[in-house]
Structures are given as structure tokens and as C-alpha cells.
């Protein structure tokens, strides 16, 4: 485990698209490690937190709704090893004031982080804006995490070797970032284009984080969990699903259970070689190849890993949130 010297030595194992979190973490002791998972009140976030806690990690559950989060925390606490502590904290990624307040609390109460999983997000909703006036997907999925992760970097540096895992999606193929019009002010809003831009931003953010932090012992990766039925799909309609399937073309759709969907997050955050995953996009517990055809599978579009775009996105994000991060 990054930042923890008590991990059991296990022989190399090959994992795949249906590997589960417990299979990936089998034999690994995370006791003494401090982790944080956003969006931990349901789905992939809840499963990621459960798996980490079951193997000894203490977990900060970052949730938007404390009442819902408390219900989600019950099975996590039940599965947690005796050495693990489960802490519930409120944060709304669609409000930078909430994000900053959350980070202030975490910084005051903790001296390090070994792993941060930026898991929370939303997918293809009708057009809306965040509390700060940003298009909801870009504002929540990217800018909220941009501020949260950067403000917690001192804890990750203190916990080094440590890791950051950004949840992205194969949906990044629907669009690269538009730094001139991130809020759809000059064009008609398309929920899937908005989703694609936000998910591409998640990858580019990992690329630039890794470049800036790797010499300080912090590595970052982006992951695609796969096609899983979770609350993320709550905004989808029959029309939007048909549009998604048309965009995917003949590409094979392999559905996963939640424990298989969360496996790549814990694999990239705990098990995989840091140099292998740092600055990369992973799916099915492996580093994905770069592709130029948006309907190829698996793979990551080259524009999502472009270092120049990653650096430009960082600068634009700082401008939008009104905060500079010199890390």
C-alpha cells in the first residue's frame, strides 16, 4: 500500500475485467493506512471504501448527504477490520465553498493520506449549473475534485509514497475538453458531450498531477470502472440511452457487478506498480492502450493523455476556481 510499510508480500497475479475488489486485495494488509473516497454513499464509492476497510485501511467517507452516508457506512463498518476507522464527512462537489470547508476539516484532523480515490460524479443530466455557475458535469466531476485534491496534496505528500485515483470513463470518447467554452455558453448543450468533456478532464487532471507530484512520491492515475448499474445512471432516459448505444456502435458492452467495477480503482491505488500506472488511464485492472478510433475497445483516446492539454486544463481550471496550486 502506498505510504504503508505493512503490506503483505504477494506474488504477481493477473487480473481482468471481472476480477473483484476482494480478489485484487487478497493477501494485502492495509492496516495503518489512511484513505479517502469521495462519493462513498453508494455504488462504486461504497464498494471501494468497503474493500479498503475490510483489508485494514482507515477510510474517510466523503459524501454529499450525511443521512444517506450514514446508512452506507453501516455495512462498511461491519466489514472493516478491527484496525480500521470509518469517518463520515460531508462535502458537496457542486459547491466550492463546501469543498474548501471539507478540506479545512480534513487538514485540521489528519496529518497524512496514503490514497485518495476521486470517485464521485454525475452522468448526462439535463443542463444545470453548480453553485458557482459552472456546467454541472464539468463543475462537479472535474472542478470540484480539482480543488479538493489540490487542497489535500500536503497530506498526500506527507503520506508518500501515496496515490491519487481519478474515476473517469470510456465516455471520455464523447468529447475532449473545450477550454474556451467549458460551460456551453456558446453552443447547445449535449449531455453526452458534457459527460465526455468532464471525463476527459478527469484523465488530463491525473496526467498533470502525476507530472507535478511524482518526484515527491505521489502518483496519480485515471480509471474506467466499466459498465455497471449504479446511481450514476439516475438521469438517463430512454432517449439518452439510445443515443449512448448509437455512439458506442458495434463496441462490445460487458456489464459488471459493483465489486468488479471498483476493482480497477483499488488495483491502481494499491496493487499495481506505481511507475506502470502513474499518469495513465486504466481499465479491467490493466493500463489501457492508446487508440485513435473512438469505438475501439479497450483503450484511451490520445487527446485525453496529451501533456500540453493537461497543462492548459490545469491553468484554465485555476482561473475558473480563482485559486492557484503551485505544487
Q: Which residues of 188-210 are buried (b: 16+ CB within 10 A; e: fewer)?
A: eebbbbbbbbbbbbbbbbbbbbb
Q: Looking at 189, 195, 281, 303, which residue is catalytic? A: 195
Residue 195 annotated to the active site: yes
pLDDT digit string (tens) for 15-41? 999 999 999 999 999 999 999 999 999
Give percent above pLDDT 70 in the chain: 87
- pLDDT digit string, tens, across residues 59-77: 999 999 999 999 999 999 9
What is the spatial distance between Cα 192 and Cα 137, in angstroms, rounded to a whole number?
A: 10
Give the number of other CB atoms < 10 A from CB of residue 144: 27
Q: What are the boundaries of each domain within the chain?
A: 21-321
| pLDDT for res 243 | 52
The phi and psi torsions of 269 (rounded to 5 degrees) equal -85, -20
- What per-residue confidence (pLDDT) applies to 190? 96
Residue 207: the pLDDT is 98
What's the pLDDT score for residue 215? 98
Separation CA 263–CA 131 (nearest Å): 32
pLDDT of residue 220: 98
Measuring CA to CA, which residue among 228, 304, 254, 278 is closest to residue 46?
228
CA atoms within 13 A on the CB side of 115: 30
Spatial separation of the C-alpha atoms in residues 272 and 26, rounded to whole Å: 13
Instruction: Give the per-residue pLDDT at 14.
Output: 83
Pick the CATH number of 21-321 from 3.40.710.10, 3.40.50.2300, 3.30.160.100, 3.40.50.720: 3.40.50.720
How high is the pLDDT of residue 228?
85
Q: State the pTM of this model.
A: 0.91
Is beta strand 286-287 parallel, antiparallel or unpaired with respect to 290-291? Answer: unpaired
Amino acid at each position: 500500500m502506498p505510504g504503508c510499510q505493512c503490506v503483505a508480500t504477494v506474488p504477481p497475479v493477473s487480473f481482468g475485467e471481472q476480477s473483484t475488489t476482494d480478489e485484487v486485495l487478497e493477501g494485502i494488509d492495509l492496516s495503518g493506512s489512511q484513505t479517502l473516497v469521495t462519493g462513498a454513499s453508494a455504488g462504486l464509492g461504497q464498494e471501494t471504501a468497503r474493500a479498503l476497510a475490510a483489508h485494514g485501511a482507515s477510510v474517510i467517507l466523503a459524501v454529499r448527504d450525511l443521512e444517506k452516508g450514514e446508512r452506507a457506512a453501516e455495512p462498511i463498518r461491519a466489514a472493516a477490520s478491527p484496525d480500521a476507522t470509518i469517518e463520515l464527512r460531508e462535502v458537496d462537489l457542486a459547491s466550492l465553498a463546501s469543498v474548501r470547508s471539507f478540506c479545512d476539516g480534513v487538514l485540521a484532523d489528519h496529518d497524512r493520506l496514503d490514497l485518495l480515490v476521486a470517485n464521485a460524479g454525475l452522468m448526462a443530466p439535463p443542463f444545470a449549473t453548480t453553485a458557482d455557475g459552472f456546467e454541472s458535469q464539468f463543475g462537479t466531476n472535474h472542478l470540484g475534485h480539482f480543488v479538493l485534491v489540490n487542497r489535500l496534496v500536503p497530506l498526500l505528500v506527507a503520506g508518500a509514497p501515496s496515490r491519487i485515483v481519478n474515476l473517469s470513463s470510456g465516455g471520455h470518447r464523447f468529447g475532449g475538453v473545450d477550454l474556451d467554452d467549458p460551460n456551453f455558453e456558446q453552443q447547445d448543450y449535449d449531455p453526452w458531450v458534457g459527460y465526455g468533456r468532464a471525463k476527459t478532464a478527469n484523465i488530463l487532471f491525473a496526467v498533470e498531477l502525476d507530472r507535478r507530484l511524482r518526484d515527491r512520491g505521489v502518483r496519480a492515475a485515471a480509471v474506467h470502472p466499466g459498465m455497471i448499474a449504479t446511481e450514476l445512471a439516475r438521469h438517463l432516459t430512454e432517449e439518452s440511452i439510445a443515443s449512448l448505444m448509437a455512439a458506442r456502435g458495434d463496441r462490445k458492452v460487458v456489464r459488471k457487478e459493483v465489486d468488479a467495477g471498483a476493482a480497477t480503482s483499488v488495483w491502481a491505488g494499491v496493487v499495481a506498480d506505481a511507475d506502470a500506472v502513474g499518469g495513465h488511464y486504466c481499465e479491467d485492472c490493466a493500463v489501457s492502450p492508446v487508440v485513435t478510433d473512438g469505438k475501439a475497445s479497450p483503450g484511451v483516446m490520445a487527446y485525453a493523455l496529451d501533456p500540453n492539454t493537461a497543462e492548459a486544463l490545469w491553468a484554465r481550471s485555476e482561473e475558473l476556481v480563482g485559486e492557484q496550486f503551485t505544487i
